[in-house]
Structure 1
Amino acid sequence: MKGCALVTGASRGLGAEIARRLARDGWAVAVNYLPDRADAEAVVASIVAAGGVAQAFRADVTDEAAVGGLVAAVEERFGPVGVLVPNATGPQPSIPSAELTWQDHLDQLVFFVKSPTLLMQAVLPGMRSLGGGRIVQIGSDLFERAAPGMAAYSAAKGAQISLTRTWARELGPSGITVNVVAPGWIPVERHAAIERSHFDAYLADVPLGRFGTPAEVADVVAFLASEASRFITGERITVNGGHVMD
């Protein structure tokens, strides 16, 4: 198994760091983005400057036709996808359960159930041609924390875990492992406007006494993408400094 790595939502935040980390491990990286071309090109430039190989690919990974086109373009440039990291996400509003609509649920499911499913199906023939592959989903420890207002997001993340375990059983005979990396709160660009009091309240419950970094999440993704993880599948690894413990 080798091929390339495809990281969705990789123009910034966790996705950008995961792309850079996989490139350092020798993967040719497809940096997927939707609205942020300049940011995606900056990620590619940083990878190339460090001696790696990468290219930016624009696609809406919640759209079936776009996903097919994305994977076809990636395979034309780099060959089959050996590592898939479905990282793309959307807005995650806090909505009281009494006001929650079915559309609110669908808005989360489209990123954490529909998109990963479309991506898995699109890369599967290529992974089988390689004799195996790695699918590493990006989850969240909110599934355990049951934070008020986050019912739709948490439910979708729970569904993501179920997908991972089922796929691990179904795809294992093809040499494909499927796992979830579940970060705690890892501050990135989109958290810039949050009040400091929220940061302090969160840290009070973290045994290691600090926030994690995107690089620490990327390290775990890189491990699961590597040969060192070859006998690990259907698992969920939480990266949150002990904030919640399975």
Structure 2
Amino acid sequence: MTLSTATPGTALVTGASRGLGAVIARRLAAEGHPVAVAYRSGAEAAGAVVADIRAAGGTAEAFAADVTDEDAVANLVADVAAGLGPVTTLVVNATGPQPLLDPTAVTWQDHLDQLTFFVKSPTLLMRAVLPGMRERGGGRIVQIGSDVIERVLPEMSAYTAAKAAQHSLTECWARALGPDGITVNTVAPGWIPVERHVDVPAEDRVAYAAEVPLRRMGDPDDVAAAVAYLVSPQAAFVTGERIRVNGGHTLG
């Protein structure tokens, strides 16, 4: 049985206790995946996501882990396999602080802080899930990127550089892992308001939406739908791509 026709396997979603990750976790559970809700902090919030999934008839468990730590990632993947089954779908979503910084004052440590989340963590996760995916004959890796790469925002230079590097990993992994039946893609959202944006003034949202060809803000469900497609059998021949989910905001 090939991956494209098999029953959905276990999906590991990092940073899934809130925000985009929580919505992605719920969507993949609705598609039939047992879902590992990975989180670094916020056990109560992670538990609520699991409860929602179970109440809807899905299968989920919460797993606490620091996905920037090599030993913690190895233990996470092993624990998920023991509790839900081998990981066949990995959604790399966890993120850290994204401070606005004067680009002329950015330090190497500022860059390292972003690279830790968007290069180190994805690399640790990919390497940890790879043996199981190879043994099963395939898998899906989806990285949550950003359209900030095209927006050229000077005060987000460190974040932008790390996000560009993250997608470069996607392309390299897609070529390297294709022979193993593993697809690797990036979903690059625009500004999608979630819990951490609750204090953003309404006028800022209106101004942003006015710049979007579709004339609205994006919704977390828009991002979750793109991820669900990429891990589905319908996307079995799609790899190395970067799908922007931003209403056309960065069109030339």
Q: CA deviation at 1:229?
A: 0.1
Q: Which residue of 1 aligns with 2:111?
A: 105
Q: Which residue of 2 aligns with 1:221?
A: 227
Q: CA deviation at 1:147?
A: 1.1
Q: Which residue of 2 aligns with 1:171?
A: 177
Q: Which residue of 2 aligns with 1:148?
A: 154
Q: CA deviation at 1:48?
A: 0.2
C-alpha distance in 2, partners of 1:202/1:140? 16
CA RMSD of aligned residues (A): 0.9
Q: Which residue of 1 aligns with 2:186?
A: 180
C-alpha distance in 2, partners of 1:3/1:120? 16
The answer to whether the Cα contact below 8 Å between 1:3 and 1:78 also exists between their aligned partners in 2 is: no
C-alpha distance in 2, partners of 1:215/1:197? 23
For structure 1, the 5+ residue unaligned runs are none
The answer to whether the Cα contact below 8 Å between 1:14 and 1:188 also exists between their aligned partners in 2 is: yes
Q: Which residue of 1 aligns with 2:17?
A: 11
- Equivalences for residues 1-150 of structure 1 within 5 A: 1=3, 2-150=8-156
Q: Is structure 2 residue 207 aligned with structure 1 residue 207?
A: no
Q: Which residue of 2 aligns with 1:243?
A: 249
SS in 2 for 1:97: coil
The one-letter code sitting in structure 1 at the alignment partner of 2:116 is V
Q: CA deviation at 1:201?
A: 2.4
C-alpha distance in 1, partners of 2:9/2:229? 16
C-alpha distance in 2, partners of 1:192/1:148? 24
Q: TM-score, normalized by length of structure 1? A: 0.98
Seq. identity, %: 65
Q: CA deviation at 1:186?
A: 0.2
C-alpha distance in 1, partners of 2:84/2:136? 13
Q: CA deviation at 1:200?
A: 2.5
Q: TM-score, normalized by length of structure 2? A: 0.96
The one-letter code sitting in structure 2 at the alignment partner of 1:70 is L
The answer to whether the Cα contact below 8 Å between 1:14 and 1:218 also exists between their aligned partners in 2 is: yes
The one-letter code sitting in structure 2 at the alignment partner of 1:215 is D
For structure 2, the 5+ residue unaligned runs are none
Residue-by-residue CA offset, 1:13-72 (whole Å, 9 max, x unaligned)? 000000000000000000001110000000000000000000000000000010000000
SS in 2 for 1:216: helix
2:239 aligned to which of 225, 229, 233: 233
C-alpha distance in 1, partners of 2:87/2:232? 14
